[in-house]
């Protein structure tokens, strides 16, 4: 018997009393996933731990990267509450259920780079000690409540081919790029996240670094707009005046490149996800 069990299935859904099957999000095609259970004790004068809280944290990095997943993550971050079901791979197929009363907070980390689009789901909450023990004990006999066809289906993967940047660089000279969107949250006493804003960063690095290119970057105004499109129709756009450009250039014997950076913190409402048009837009608020 293997000691490495892992996560067999993971389902996330909104915190409602009677969720419809259409609302289930099965984290199918993914990288690593884990459920971490820790005690959050009280210490006595001798620094001994006394039972107090039990904390549950789930992380799962999805590589099924369609616009519907980004939209779902944005909605969950806005609501600040999700229900979840995690089934383990072990002899008993333990099923940990976090339902309407024992719901979890939600954060996400989205990344787009030349190789992939990933979205990490981060779910967390802590519960009074006996409640936490009940969640663990019930996992031994729980059955899947929000079951569906949730196998790892590779045809859901969207090939990550980027075909256009805004006209800052010749696309054929692009060395690297990285788009990162992360939630930044406060925590309640239950260790559930309440999202304050988004931490956004877009870095585009090009081998073009001659003076005329660097001057062109420096001439960009504060009202510069930026967009990235992919061959599947996906588009990410920063509207005018939302994030300001920052420039960098290195001209040396062993390396030369120029870099354009858009970075800042934005309210969650500044991110608009359009399922129909396959677009993510950062707009002014």
Do 133 and 186 reside in the same domain of the chain? no
Q: What is the pLDDT of residue 151?
A: 53
Strands (E), 99-192: 105-112, 117-128, 162-165, 174-187
Which residue shows structure tokens 């800052």? Answer: 168
Q: What is the pLDDT of residue 40?
A: 92
Q: What is the pLDDT of residue 254?
A: 92
Which one, of 187, 46, 171, 162, lies nearest residue 112 by Cα?
Answer: 162
Do 137 and 263 reside in the same domain of the chain? no
Q: What is the pLDDT of residue 100?
A: 93
Phi and psi at 232, nearest 5°, equal -85, 5
Contact in structure between 12 and 121 (CB atoms under 8 Å): yes
Do 141 and 224 reside in the same domain of the chain? no
The dihedral of CA 86, 12, 141, 50: what is its sign?
positive
Q: Using one digit for the tens of pLDDT, what is the confidence trace for 67-76?
A: 888 999 999 9
Do 24 and 130 reside in the same domain of the chain? yes
Q: What is the pLDDT of residue 229?
A: 84
Do 185 and 148 reside in the same domain of the chain? no
Running DSSP on this structure, what letter comes out for residue 3?
S
Q: What is the pLDDT of residue 198?
A: 97
- Integer distance in angstroms from the first to the last C-alpha of the chain? 55
Residue that finishes a domain, picked among 156, 191, 209: 156
Distance CA 145, CA 133 (A): 20
**Residue 95 exposure: Cα atoms within 13 Å on the Cβ side:** 13
Total domains present in the chain: 2
Which residues are within 8 A (CB) of 2 and not within 5 positions of it... i.e. 6 or more apart? none
Do 208 and 113 reside in the same domain of the chain? no
213 membership: H or E segment, kind and range: helix 211-218
Do 109 and 22 reside in the same domain of the chain? yes
Q: What is the pLDDT of residue 115?
A: 86
Do 214 and 232 reside in the same domain of the chain? yes
Do 145 and 187 reside in the same domain of the chain? no
Q: What is the pLDDT of residue 27?
A: 86
Contact in structure between 267 and 285 (CB atoms under 8 Å): yes
Which residues of the chain fall short of a pLDDT of 50? 1
Could you give the residue ranges of the DSSP H alpha helices within 20-83? Answer: 67-79
C-alpha dist (Å) from residue 86 to 1, 29, 139, 146, 208: 21, 15, 9, 10, 48
Do 207 and 250 reside in the same domain of the chain? yes
Distance CA 250, CA 248 (A): 7
Contact in structure between 95 and 86 (CB atoms under 8 Å): yes
Q: Using one digit for the tens of pLDDT, what is the confidence trace for 43-55?
A: 999 999 999 999 9
Which residues are within 8 A (CB) of 48 and not within 5 positions of it... i.e. 6 or more apart? none
Token pair of 230, please? 């992919």
Distance CA 135, CA 124 (A): 14
Residue that finishes a domain, picked among 105, 137, 156: 156
Q: What is the pLDDT of residue 149?
A: 54
Indicate whether 1 belongs to any domain.
Answer: no
pLDDT averaged over every residue in the chain: 88
Indicate whether 2 belongs to any domain.
Answer: no
CATH number for the domain that contains residue 35 = 2.30.110
- Cβ count near 71 (within 10 Å): 15
Distance CA 134, CA 91 (A): 20
Range of the domain at 171: 162-282
Do 147 and 169 reside in the same domain of the chain? no
Global confidence as pTM: 0.91
Q: Using alpha carbons only, how large is the chain's radius of gyration in Å?
A: 22
């Amino acid at each position: 018997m293997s000691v490495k069990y892992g996560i067999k299935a993971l389902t996330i859904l909104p915190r409602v009393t009677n969720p419809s099957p259409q609302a289930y999000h099965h984290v199918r095609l993914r990288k690593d996933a884990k459920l971490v259970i820790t005690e959050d004790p009280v210490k006595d004068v001798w620094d001994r731990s006394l039972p107090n809280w039990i904390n549950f944290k789930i992380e799962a990095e999805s590589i099924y990267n369609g616009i519907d997943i980004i939209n779902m993550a944005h909605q969950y971050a806005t609501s600040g509450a999700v229900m979840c079901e995690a089934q383990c791979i072990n002899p008993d197929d333990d099923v940990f259920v976090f339902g309407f009363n024992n719901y979890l907070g939600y954060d996400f980390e989205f990344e787009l780079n030349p190789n992939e689009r990933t979205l990490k789901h981060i779910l967390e909450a802590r519960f009074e000690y006996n409640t936490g023990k009940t969640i663990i004990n019930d996992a031994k006999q729980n059955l899947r409540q929000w079951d569906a066809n949730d196998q790892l289906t590779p045809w859901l993967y969207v090939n990550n081919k980027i075909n256009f940047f805004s006209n800052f660089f010749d696309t054929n000279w692009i060395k690297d790029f990285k788009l990162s969107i992360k939630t930044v949250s406060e925590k309640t006493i239950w260790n559930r996240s309440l999202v304050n804003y988004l931490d956004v960063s877009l870095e585009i690095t090009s081998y073009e670094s001659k003076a005329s290119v660097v001057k062109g970057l420096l001439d960009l105004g504060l009202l510069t707009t930026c967009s990235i499109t992919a061959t599947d129709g996906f588009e990410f756009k920063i509207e005018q005046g939302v994030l300001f450009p920052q420039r960098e250039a290195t001209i040396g014997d062993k390396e030369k490149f120029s870099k354009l950076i858009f970075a800042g913190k934005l309210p969650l409402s500044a991110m608009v996800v359009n399922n129909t048009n396959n677009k993510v837009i950062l707009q002014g608020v």
